[in-house]
Amino acid sequence: MDWSHYRFRSVWDLAAPPARVYAVLEQAEEYPRWWPQVRAVESLGPRTGAGYFRSFLPYEIKVTATELLRDPAGGVLEVALHGDLEGWARWTVRPRGRGTRAVYEQEVEVRRALMRRLAVPGRPFFRLNHALMMRAGRRGLAAHLAGRPEAV
């Protein structure tokens, strides 16, 4: 087993129409407004940007994301990730009842030296860190969609 390889899947049920959820998710440069662990996003070109993330653990992750797929009709956003993490991430947005189910999937290999050295003993903490980040993201997006940015 490669202890530096991770596969994540998060499911967010949201009380907003799929088109609205998709429209918010495709604006990555706005994530810091509603997702506290996304510290900054900067454009590096029309299909590329840099993101800076920090959750519970005291380290920041920097990645460059390059758009692979933007399909509003299919409800899919997918990027390639490079930097402290190498791999891909994908949002899939679908109707669910009166709202939306947004599924986030990510498959990455950690490239950051410290995280690789701590791969075995740190793995449960890294997974928990990611889970806490995703939970805060869901809460922040739900508040943003409901027009309550102060709830973030």
The three-class DSSP label of residue 74 is coil
- Burial status of residue 17 (CB atoms within 10 A of its CB: 0-12, 13-18, 19 or more): middle
Number of residues in the chain: 152
In terms of residue numbers, what domain contains 116? 5-151
CATH number of the structural domain spanning residue 113: 3.30.530.20
Structural domains counted in the chain: 1
Q: What is the pLDDT of residues 57-92, one digit of tens each?
A: 888 999 999 999 999 999 999 999 999 999 999 999
Q: What is the pLDDT of residues 113-140, one digit of tens each?
A: 888 898 899 999 999 999 999 999 999 9
